Amino acid sequence: MNRMELLKYDIIIIGSGIAGFKAAIHASQASKDLKIAVISKLHAMRSHSVSAEGGVSAVLYGKERNDSYDLHAYDTIKGSDYLADQDSVEILVKNAPQEIAFFDHIGVPWNRDEKGIVMQRPFGGMTIPRTVFAADETGFFMMRALYDETKSLGNVDIFHEHFVTTLLMKNKEFAGAYAINLADGSEKIFEAKACIIATGGFARIYGFTTTAHSSTGDGTALAYNAGASLKDMEFVQFHPTGLVPNGILITEAARGEGGYLRNAKGRRFMEDYAKAKMELAPRDIISRAIITEIEKGNGIKHGESDMEHVQLDLTHLDPKKLDERLPMVKDIAMKTIGVDPGKEPLPVRPAAHFTMGGINSDNEGRVLDGAEKAMRGLWAAGEAGCVSVHGANRLGSNSLSECAVWGRIAGEEAAKYAKTQRFADEKILSQLISDEEGRLKSILEKSGDVNPYELKEQLNRVMDTYFYVYRSTGKMKKGIAQLAKIKKQFYSVRVEDKGRIYNTNFRDVLELGNMICLADIVAQCAANRKESRGAHAMLEYTKRDDKKWLKHTIAFKSGDSTQLSYSQVRITRWKPQERKY
Amino acid sequence: MKSEHASNYIFLLYGSIAGIPLLMILYVIFRLIGNGAAAFAAEALLVPAFFVFGILSFIEIFGHEESVPAASLLLKAEGAQYHEGTDSGKSVYLNVKKFNPAKGQFERFSYKVKITRFTSVLDALLTAKAKHDNTLSIRYSCRMGTCGSCGMVVNGKPVLACQTNALDSSKDGAVEIGPMQAHPLLKDLATNFDEFFEEHKSVDSTLYRRNRNEKYKARKVFDMDREEMEKFLPYSYCIMCGLCQDACPVSNSNGNFLGPQALAQVYRYHADKRDQKGTERLEAVDSLSGAWGCEFAGACSKACPKGVDPASAIQLLKSEIMKAKMAGKFKEGA
Average pLDDT score over residue span B266-275: 98
Give the residue among A16, A40, A5, A41 at the shortest CA–CA distance from A508: A41
According to DSSP, the β-strands at A36-39 and A5-14 are: parallel
Whether residue B7 has pLDDT greater than 90: no
Whether residue A421 has pLDDT greater than 80: yes
Neighbours of A74 (CB within 10 A): 17
Question: What's the pLDDT at A426?
Answer: 81
Contact assessment for residue A50 and residue A108, using Cβ atoms and an 8 Å cutoff: no
Query: What is the pLDDT confidence band of residue A3, given thresholds at 50, 70 and 90?
Result: confident
- Across-strand partners of A131? A57, A121
Question: What's the pLDDT at A428?
Answer: 83
CB-based contact, B232 to chain A, within 8 Å: yes
Query: What's the one-letter identity of residue A320?
Result: K
B54-113 residues touching A, CB cutoff 8 A = 81, 87-89, 101-102
Question: What's the pLDDT at A304?
Answer: 84
Average pLDDT score over residue span B235-262: 96
B193-222 residues touching A, CB cutoff 8 A = 193, 197, 201, 204-207, 209, 212-213, 215-222
Q: Which residue has the higher pLDDT, B65 or B229?
A: B229
Whether residue B2 has pLDDT greater than 90: no
Whether residue B19 has pLDDT greater than 70: no
Whether residue A460 has pLDDT greater than 70: yes
Question: What's the pLDDT at B36?
Answer: 67
Query: What is the pLDDT confidence band of residue B81, given thresholds at 50, 70 and 90?
Result: very low
Question: What's the pLDDT at B42?
Answer: 64
Phi, psi of B272 (to 5 degrees): -90, 120
Average pLDDT score over residue span A491-513: 97
| Residue A255 among the catalytic residues | yes
Write out pLDDT tens, residues B100-152.
999 999 999 999 999 999 999 999 999 999 999 999 999 999 999 999 999 99
Whether residue B84 has pLDDT greater than 90: no
Phi, psi of A354 (to 5 degrees): -150, 140
Average pLDDT score over residue span A388-405: 97
Share of chain A above pLDDT 70, in %: 100
Query: What is the pLDDT confidence band of residue A424, given thresholds at 50, 70 and 90?
Result: confident
A-chain residue closest to B229, CA distance? A109
Average pLDDT score over residue span B209-233: 95
Whether residue B66 has pLDDT greater than 70: no
Phi, psi of B288 (to 5 degrees): -70, -30
Write out pLDDT tens, residues A154-181.
999 999 999 999 999 998 999 999 999 9
Q: Residue A332 is nearest to which of B144, B206, B240, comparing CB atoms?
A: B144
Question: What's the pLDDT at A406?
Answer: 98
Å from A173 to nearest chain B CA?
A: 31
Q: Where are the beta strands (DSSP E) in A308-412?
A: 308-313, 346-355, 358-360, 366-368, 374-380, 385-386
CA distance B10 to B272: 47
Share of chain B above pLDDT 90, in %: 71
Give the residue among B292, B282, B291, B289 at the shortest CA–CA distance from B330: B282
Q: Which residue has the higher pLDDT, B16 or B232?
A: B232
Contact assessment for residue A243 and residue A249, using Cβ atoms and an 8 Å cutoff: yes
- Range in A342-356, B81-95, B218-232, B273-287 with the lowest mean pLDDT: B81-95
B110-169 residues touching A, CB cutoff 8 A = 116-118, 120, 123, 129-131, 133-149, 163, 165
Average pLDDT score over residue span B12-16: 51
Å from B167 to nearest chain A CA?
A: 12
DSSP H or E segment with residue B191? strand B190-191
Average pLDDT score over residue span A321-349: 94
Write out pLDDT tens, residues A553-573.
999 999 999 999 999 999 999
Question: What's the pLDDT at B77?
Answer: 29
CA distance A568 to A553: 9
Whether residue A277 has pLDDT greater than 70: yes
Query: What is the pLDDT confidence band of residue B59, given thresholds at 50, 70 and 90?
Result: very low
- Inter-chain residue contact A501 with B236, CB threshold 8 Å: no
CA atoms within 13 Å, Cβ hemisphere of B141:
22
A-chain residue closest to B215, CA distance? A105
| Residue A376 among the catalytic residues | no
- Inter-chain residue contact A107 with B269, CB threshold 8 Å: yes
Residues in chain B: 334
- Inter-chain residue contact A48 with B141, CB threshold 8 Å: yes
- What order of strands is seen across the sheet that includes strand A358-360? A385-386, A358-360, A230-231, A551-558, A561-568
CA distance A218 to A14: 10
Whether residue A1 has pLDDT greater than 80: no
Neighbouring residues of A98: CB distance < 8 A, sequence distance ≥ 6: B217, B218, B219
* Preferred mutation among B121, B221, B277 to probe A, highest tally of A CBs within 10 A: B221
Neighbours of B212 (CB within 10 A): 16
According to DSSP, the β-strands at A374-380 and A366-368 are: antiparallel
Whether residue B80 has pLDDT greater than 70: no
Residues in chain A: 581
- What order of strands is seen across the sheet that includes strand A56-57? A56-57, A131-132, A120-121
Neighbouring residues of A482: CB distance < 8 A, sequence distance ≥ 6: A458, A462, A466
Question: What's the pLDDT at B58?
Answer: 47
**Cis peptide, bond prior to residue A229, ω within 30 of zero:** no
Q: Which domains does chain A have, with CATH numbers?
A: 5-53+134-236+354-428 (3.50.50.60), 237-353 (3.90.700.10)
Which residues from chain A sit within 8 angstroms of residue B146, using beta carbons?
50-51, 137, 140, 328
DSSP H or E segment with residue A242? strand A236-243
- DSSP letter for each residue of A274-304: -TTTGGGS-HHHHHHHHHHHIIIII-EE-TT
* CA dihedral over A18, A20, A23, A24, signed as positive or negative: negative
Whether residue B35 has pLDDT greater than 80: no
Write out pLDDT tens, residues A182-201.
999 999 999 999 999 999 99
Average pLDDT score over residue span A250-276: 96
Average pLDDT of the residues of chain A: 96
- Inter-chain residue contact A336 with B213, CB threshold 8 Å: no
Question: What's the pLDDT at B29?
Answer: 67
Catalytic residue among A255, A283, A353, A529: A255
- Range in A295-304, A374-383, A439-448, B42-51 with the lowest mean pLDDT: B42-51
- Inter-chain residue contact B190 with A502, CB threshold 8 Å: yes
- Inter-chain residue contact B207 with A149, CB threshold 8 Å: yes
CA distance A249 to A240: 9
B-chain residue closest to A53, CA distance? B146
Question: What's the pLDDT at A303?
Answer: 86
Catalytic residue among A239, A288, A309, A408: A239
Question: What ipTM score was computed for the predicted complex, to two decimals?
Answer: 0.96
Chain A / chain B CB contacts < 8 angstroms: 189
Whether residue B192 has pLDDT greater than 70: yes
B29-58 residues touching A, CB cutoff 8 A = none
CA distance A404 to A24: 12
Question: What's the pLDDT at B220?
Answer: 95
- Across-strand partners of A237? A354
3 state DSSP class of A388: coil
Query: What is the pLDDT confidence band of residue B88, given thresholds at 50, 70 and 90?
Result: low
B233-292 residues touching A, CB cutoff 8 A = 233, 236-240, 265, 269, 272, 274
Å from A501 to nearest chain B CA?
A: 7
